[in-house]
Structure 1
Amino acid sequence: MARNRPAQHGDFRPVYHPAGHDQALRVALEDLRTGRWMAMRTLLAHTGTDWALRTSRSQVLAAAAAGSDVVQAWRAEEPNSADALMMRARIMVERALQARRHRHFREEELAQQAREACELAAHCLPDDPVPWVCLLALAQLDEQQLRQEQRVPPPERTLLHGPWQLLQETHIRHPFNREAYQRMLQFFYARAGGSPADALHFVHWVASLVPEGSAVLVLPLYAYARYYRTQRERTGSEADPLVRQQWRRVHIVRDTDRALQGWFRHPDAAPYAALDLNHLAHALWAGSRFSEAAEVFGAIGVYATHQPWMHVTDVPGRADLAEQEFVWARAQCLAAAEAACSRGARYG
């Protein structure tokens, strides 16, 4: 269906960088790409026990370092470094996940090595939630739930069996760790015989527990964006009015409001992740709440993410189309906010 696109705001082009607004992380990533580890070491030392920041930074660092031996070199120089031990677990998990995506013949071997690295890190770093987050990330590889830790009874009988003890271990160390709940959601998507309804039920349960200020309040929006893509694929048409009306349903509006008010606008909000901001901006835009979305686009700045914008493109997986959708949505929302501001100034 043809859509009227608003005038573009200048020559704006989004930037896709894993560090986003985190300049210290950007420096460490640049150092990593040249085979050096000192900036990573310094960054993690300065991050300390800020568990939310340690979790997010280590995840990005591991993705950048997974194809090199830079952490191995760090451990050779400082074999007793707790941060190096944690990063070894992170990288081995990243390699195991990549092996699954590419159906590499060593995927089971790499998964077992990663699991052992996580267990060692958890033993040596008893207060650190990251090794447990890593074990949760590996849970999605056990699609048949063959391992006992993936078949733990749920805290509520209407939920499915899964790696609940791993989630609990993370929660004990860092309540409502953002990545832990993201990994749990990924487990439900990967689980053999599962359905989108399982994932939606999980995020609804989580939403009933999450405190104000937590980034986990955005989690339902991830599930809704994925469900939207699933429904579009089922109907075969983006123009299906029932599919598009999803974003105006009462429970989705409620969860979008909670993410906006309880996280984005909350005075004690957890640090903004670019992916969370993009999901919130998308949900507001898709619900025609353009002025509110413009506020979130302001926080995003130039740092876009391909998801969830890929879910609304005509060809899933096309990064160029996802960028077009982001730029269009941003321009539409900023134009609406400017018009509202002009009306307010004229009649105020």
Structure 2
Amino acid sequence: MPLARPVYHPAGHDAPLRAVLQDLKAGRWVSTRNLLTETPDWGLWTQRTQVLAAAVAGSDVVRAWLAEEPRSVAATVLHTRVTVERALRAHRAGHRHTNDLWREANSACRIASQTSPEDPVPWICLLALAQLDEGQRWDEHRVAAPEPMLFPGPWQLLAEAEKRDPGNREAYHRMLQFAYHRRPGAPLTEAVNFVHWASAAAPAGSPLHVLPLYVRVERYRREGGSERALDLHWIAEDATRGALRALQLWFDHAQPEAASLLDLNYLAHALWGAHHFHDAVRVFEALDPFYAVVPWTYRTTSPGDADAAAEAFVQARARCLHAARGPGPRD
């Protein structure tokens, strides 16, 4: 495997998406319309619309497209995505217009759900907005859970997304984000229960098997431990078991070129941390030439620094490659 410095691109291995992103950022939306029209399944549709909206949330290109093609399903859904992304960003920044943006996004979601009734994305967007409801004031955000060990929350919204695309990756990640925000500062017990419940019922090949790795990284991030503490964090028996489970039940059945770039990074990170270097090499090879800033940024002294995260990624990859050249399956 080449040892070139990795690159970050939000589209990852999705070459058609990489191509249209450039056009959309330049204000040209026709290629985006064509790509979304040709997108073959809801999982890829969800992933592509999320990446596209995040890339152009600061521009009016999607609004211009919708003005020219008001009956376009793709334009309507992408416009919804953009409004939701803006509301979430405003909330994170503590912006004074957050509530106005939230109302606009909620309205866009309802319109999109009627325009494209078979589409999971409007319901996923409503799930994303649920984390803004601090204190769970809205009835739809405090529905009783399907299992006693789970928290009350937007379960009906998740059910609507699940009905349209069973096991939709983003839907479950949005529910996980809700669990994080439901009681700020609370232990991660609810999140842990949720990801184990979600992954336990998932079929082979489902990205939901990677969910527990996200909570483990989040736990370390909150603890703010030393590098040595992170090493111990990832070689614990349950951590190793979670990494191998994700490898065997997701990676070994998935198509890496269609996989989430984040999922691949989290799995490579977990296997490296668990000292399963040979297995980690397989995931690093599937990632080539890409990487993502998280979770590698948490191995640095400057969280959020993309260059530092890339260096942590390179060092971990080199460690795994070196071990893989040795005589045994573990170093």
TM-score range relative to shorter protein: over 0.9
Picking from 44, 63, 77, the partner of 2:68 is 77
The AA in structure 2 aligned to 1:30 is Q
What CA deviation, in whole Å up to 9, does each residue of 1:99-140 have, x standing for no partner?
112111111110111011001111221110011111111111
Instruction: Quote the residue 1:259 is aligned against.
Output: 246
Where structure 2 has 5 or more consecutive residues not aligned to the other structure, the ranges are none
Is the contact made by 1:32 and 1:40 (CA closer than 8 Å) also made in structure 2? yes
**How far apart are 1:27 and its partner, in Å?**
1.0
Q: Where in structure 2 are the equivalents of 1:192-341 lying within 5 Å?
A: 192-193=183-184, 194-231=186-223, 233=224, 236-240=225-229, 244-266=231-253, 271-340=258-327
**How far apart are 1:52 and its partner, in Å?**
0.5
Where structure 1 has 5 or more consecutive residues not aligned to the other structure, the ranges are 1-8, 343-348
What CA deviation, in whole Å up to 9, does each residue of 1:120-173 have, x standing for no partner?
111221110011111111111112111111101000111111111110100000
3-state SS of the aligned residue for 1:114? helix
Bigger mean CA deviation after superposition, 209-218 or 252-261: 252-261
The AA in structure 1 aligned to 2:83 is M
The AA in structure 2 aligned to 1:287 is A
Is the contact made by 1:229 and 1:312 (CA closer than 8 Å) also made in structure 2? no
Alpha-carbon separation, structure 1, partners of 2:42 and 2:257: 11
The AA in structure 1 aligned to 2:173 is Q
What CA deviation, in whole Å up to 9, does each residue of 1:238-263 have, x standing for no partner?
324xx532323333222212210111
Alpha-carbon separation, structure 2, partners of 1:176 and 1:191: 22
Structure-2 change in CA distance of 1:295 and 1:269 (3 Å) = closer
What CA deviation, in whole Å up to 9, does each residue of 1:173-201 have, x standing for no partner?
00010000111111111113432222112
Is the contact made by 2:13 and 2:257 (CA closer than 8 Å) also made in structure 1? no
Which runs of structure 1 show a deviation greater than 3 angstroms over 4 or more consecutive aligned residues? 267-270
Instruction: Quote the residue 1:160 is aligned against.
Output: 151
Instruction: Quote the residue 1:124 is aligned against.
Output: 115
Alpha-carbon separation, structure 1, partners of 2:4 and 2:261: 17
Bigger mean CA deviation after superposition, 68-77 or 164-173: 68-77
3-state SS of the aligned residue for 1:199? helix
Alpha-carbon separation, structure 2, partners of 1:298 and 1:220: 22
3-state SS of the aligned residue for 1:145? coil
Count of aligned pairs between the two proteins: 329
**How far apart are 1:79 and its partner, in Å?**
1.1
TM-score (structure 1 length as normaliser): 0.90
Alpha-carbon separation, structure 1, partners of 2:48 and 2:327: 38
TM-score (structure 2 length as normaliser): 0.94
**How far apart are 1:81 and its partner, in Å?**
0.8
The percent identity for this pair of structures is 50
Alpha-carbon separation, structure 2, partners of 1:110 and 1:265: 41
Instruction: Quote the residue 2:35 is aligned against.
Output: 43
Picking from 1, 14, 22, the partner of 2:14 is 22
Alpha-carbon separation, structure 2, partners of 1:244 and 1:148: 42
